[in-house]
A and B are shown apart, each in its own frame.
Chain A
Amino acid sequence: MKHINIGVKVSIRKGVVDMLPLSLAVLPWGILFGSIAVQRGFSWLEAQMFSAIIFGGAVQIVTVELIADNASLVTVLFTAFVISSRHFLYGLFLREKLSPQPLRWRLGLGFLLTDELFALSGHRRAYRGRLRLIYGLAAGGSFYLAWNIWTFVGIVAGAVLPDLTELGLDFAIAATFIALVVPEIKTLATLAAVITAAIFSLLFSLWEFELGLVIAALLAMAAGFTVQQLRRAS
């Protein structure tokens, strides 16, 4: 019994630590969101509810502006849907691993399935067994807590804090994702996917195309798949 508890503790600690660079990296954005929401006339409670139940950085920052500008409800919801559409990919990718799990795990991990948790879900054996589920819950849960704390700081102190988004903390996101992607490049097909994603994400980002991330990812996956098929055929 004792070593099981140790396993749980280790899984929790590893989940929190692996997520830590990402939890810290979103500090400027959490503060930015909290402060925009209050400036644009939302109550403290409403602003905190965005982070507590919507829990999506880009969706929150974009929709809070739209609502404040009196955009129609349809526009607000449609925009949120477009930004959230990448989540379908995450669900599909994790479907085999998570769909056989009990409802409470699916609901909990599903709620926490941000870009950041998806990034830590790439392991071949991710979510296999209780300890790996606990690892995911600790990673996702600690990120949720961090995002809500940063939001709260933005709500109460956003007006007196400088804009921290130019500080470069987002580099930690890039470095973490590099750490996860580079060791995965073992085949020509994966390399093709990475290069395709790199080119199209830059193009779409410069065009400020909202669906850019999803489309770049789909093109990259198609490139990887095609190269794999060609190599298998030859």
Chain B
Amino acid sequence: MTLLTILLLACITFGTRYLFLEGLLPVRLGSNIKQFLSYSGPAVLTAITMPILFVHTHQLDTSVSNPYLWGALAAIAAAYKTANIYWTVGLGTLAFAAVSSLHF
């Protein structure tokens, strides 16, 4: 029974991922839809990132003692200056770790 449930769940995750990659599916994307979809990257990634930064144990944390805030500011500055993924992750993590270790 558990095995069947696992298989059905696998069908759901795979099905939702694969569906629109199938060319036989009769879906034509018009230019408006394509424009709309062109914002999906920044939209989805921002929507995943913000709660990681500011929602901790179900509460909004925008205090200056929040290390995620400082890490994010350093990462944004690095991304803006370098547009390089390694510099951004490196400098962001450094700032995050530095503020975390201060233990407000």
Contact = CB atoms under 8 A, between A and B. Distances in A.
Interface of A: 18, 21, 42, 46, 49-50, 53-56, 59, 63, 67, 73, 76-77, 80-81, 84-96, 98-100, 106-107, 109-111, 113, 115, 118-119, 121-122, 168, 170-185, 189-190, 193-194, 196-198, 200-202, 205-206, 208, 212-213, 216-218, 220-222, 224-225, 228
A195 B64 CA distance: 21
Contacts of A100: 23
Contacts of B59: 206
A202 B60 contact: yes
B50 to A, nearest CB: 5
A173 B46 contact: no
B49 interface: yes
A182 B18 contact: no
Nearest to B8: A77
Nearest to B7: A53
A91 B6 contact: no
Contacts of A185: 42
The CB with the most chain B CB atoms within 10 A, among A170, A178, A216, is that of: A178
Given A80-B9, A179-B84, A197 B46 contact: yes
Contacts of A96: 29, 34
B52 A173 contact: yes
Interface size class of B (residues with CB under 8 A): 35 or more
A202 B50 CA distance: 6
B41 to A, nearest CB: 4
Nearest to A89: B40
Contacts of B102: none
Nearest to B37: A93
Contact of B42 (A98, A184, A218): A184
Given A110-B14, A180-B45, A197-B50, A174 B19 contact: no
Nearest to A84: B16
A220 B46 contact: yes
A104 B16 CA distance: 17
Contacts of B104: none
* Residue in A54, A115, A184 with the greatest tally of chain B CB atoms within 10 Å: A54
A126 B73 CA distance: 28
A168 B50 contact: no
A181 B46 contact: yes
B89 A21 contact: yes
B29 A95 contact: yes
B37 A168 contact: no
B63 interface: no
